[in-house]
Chains A and B, each alone.
Chain A
Amino acid sequence: MNPIIKQAINFFFYETSKIFILLISIIFIVSFLRSYLQADKIKEFLSKKHTIVGNILASIIGTITPFCSCSAIPLFIGFLQAGIPLGITFSYLIAAPMVNEIAFVLLLSSFGWKIALLYWAVGIFLAISIGFLLGKLNLEKYVEDFVWQIKTKNTQTETLEQLSLKQRAINAFFYTKELVKSIFIWIILGVAIGAFIHGFVPQELILKYCSKDNPFAVFWAVLIGVPIYANAAGSVPIINALVQKGLPIGTALALMMSITALSLPEIMILRRVLKPKLLFIYVGIVSCGILLVGYLFNLLKLN
C-alpha cells in the first residue's frame, strides 16, 4: 500500500478513536453528575438569586445541562414564571447551547487544553455579562404578553432522588450510548466537510480573505455563523480544517460560537415568546459579544 495512504488511514483511526474515548468518558461522567441536577431544581434554586450571582450560577449550570433548542420555549416560560429575572434566564439560554461537554472534548482533541479552556471560559463570561446587561435594560415589556399570563399547575413529578448510585450509573451509561450514537453522524459529517476543505479549498483563498490583516473577517465569520444551525460535534472538525488552512484562531472561535449560540431555527422559536424588538436586541448583543471575542483572540496571536 502507498505509505502516504497508510499513514492517512492510521491517522484517521488514531484521531477518531481518541475523540470517541474522550467523548464516552466525559459524557458518562457529566451525565452521571447531571442526574443530581433536575431542571425544576435549578429553577427553584435560581428563583432565589437576583443579582449577578444569579447570572454566574445560571451560566455555569447552563454549561453542564443538556440543551436542545426545542426546549427553549418551555424553559424560558418556566423560568420567568418561577420569578427568575429575565437577565438570568438569558444567561442560561446563551450558555446552554454554546458551552457544553461535547464542545469541550472536541476542542480539546483538535486544539489542545489551552484553546478548549479558553473557549469554555469565554463562553461563560459572555453568558454572564450579556445576561447581566440585558437584565439591566428593563426589557420585560418586550416579552410576549401571554408568557406572563400562563398559569402553571403544580404537577406531581416522579421523584428521582431515591435512585441508587448504581442505578444512576446505569442510566448514565445508556444515556452516553445514545448521545454518542446520535452525534456520531454529526462528527462524520463535520470530518467529511473538513476533509473537503482540506483537499479542495486553496490556502491562498483563506489567507487572502480571512487573514488577521482583514478587519472584516471576524465580522463575516459571525454573519455567516449566526443563521447556521449545527451543534458543536459537527462544527469543530470544520473549524479545525479551516484553522489548518491558516484561519486565525479568533475568527475560527467566533465562527463556532455564532454557529452554536444562535441559529435561524432558534431565532424563529424565540420569536414566539419575544417581541421583535427584544429578539433584535438579543441577537444583536450576542453577535456583538462574539465579535469582540473574535477580535480579542486574534490580537492574542494564539496560532
Chain B
Amino acid sequence: MYKFKVLGTGCTKCKKLYELVQKILIDHKQNTQLEYINDIMQIVELGILTTPALVLNDKVLHTGSFSEEQIKALIIRNIKDESNN
C-alpha cells in the first residue's frame, strides 16, 4: 500500500498540490491512500522546510514549489520502484 501525504500550511499552492496528487492517483485507487496534513508540528517533525511537501510512506519525495509534470513523473516513478521490490 502506498500512503501518500500532502503537507501544507493551508495556502493555495498546498491545496493545488493536494488536488493534483488526487487526480494522478485516480488510476491507482486500489493500492494508494492520500492524506492532507496541515499540522505545523508534523510538518516540522518530518524535517520539511518549504511547503507544500509530498511524502510517500515517511519518505519525503518533494518540498516547495512544484510543476505538474514533475510531480506526475515523481509519483509514477515511485509507484513503479516499489512494485519491483
Contact = CB atoms under 8 A, between A and B. Distances in A.
Contact of B65 (A69, A73, A179): A179
A43 B59 contact: no
A81 B69 CA distance: 33
Nearest to A272: B40
Interface stretch (A112-120, A135-143, A151-159): A151-159
Interface in B23-74: 40-41, 43-51, 58-70, 74
B14 to A, nearest CB: 7
A152 B45 contact: yes
B51 A178 contact: no
A33 interface: no
B59 A74 contact: no
B50 A171 contact: no
A40 B49 contact: yes
A78 B46 CA distance: 10
How big is the B interface, by class? Answer: 20 to 34
Contacts of B58: 155-156
Given A70-B11, A73-B40, A174 B60 contact: no
A66 B65 contact: yes
A143 B7 CA distance: 24
Given A175-B67, A178-B68, A155 B47 contact: yes
Contact of A78 (B14, B47, B65): B47
B72 to A, nearest CB: 10
Given A70-B11, A150-B45, A39 B67 contact: no
Contacts of A154: 47
Contact of A177 (B41, B60, B67): B67
B67 A155 contact: no
Contacts of B43: 74
Nearest to B65: A66
A47 to B, nearest CB: 12
A77 B44 CA distance: 7
Please indicate which of the listed interface residues B14, B46, B61, B67 has the most CB atoms of chain A within 10 Å of its own CB: B67
Contacts of B14: 70
A170 B8 CA distance: 25
B13 A68 contact: yes
A162 interface: no
A52 interface: no
A174 B47 CA distance: 26
B70 to A, nearest CB: 5
B51 A68 contact: yes
B69 to A, nearest CB: 4
Enumerate the 8 nearest inter-chain pairs by beta-carbon distance, A residue then B residue, closest first: A174-B67, A70-B11, A39-B49, A70-B9, A78-B49, A71-B50, A174-B69, A157-B60
Given A39-B64, A158-B61, A175-B67, 19 more contacts: A39-B50, A66-B64, A68-B13, A68-B50, A70-B51, A74-B40, A74-B48, A77-B44, A78-B47, A79-B49, A81-B44, A152-B44, A153-B46, A153-B47, A155-B60, A157-B60, A171-B70, A174-B69, A174-B70
12 contacts: A39-B49, A66-B65, A70-B11, A71-B51, A73-B9, A74-B43, A77-B40, A77-B44, A152-B46, A157-B47, A157-B59, A170-B69
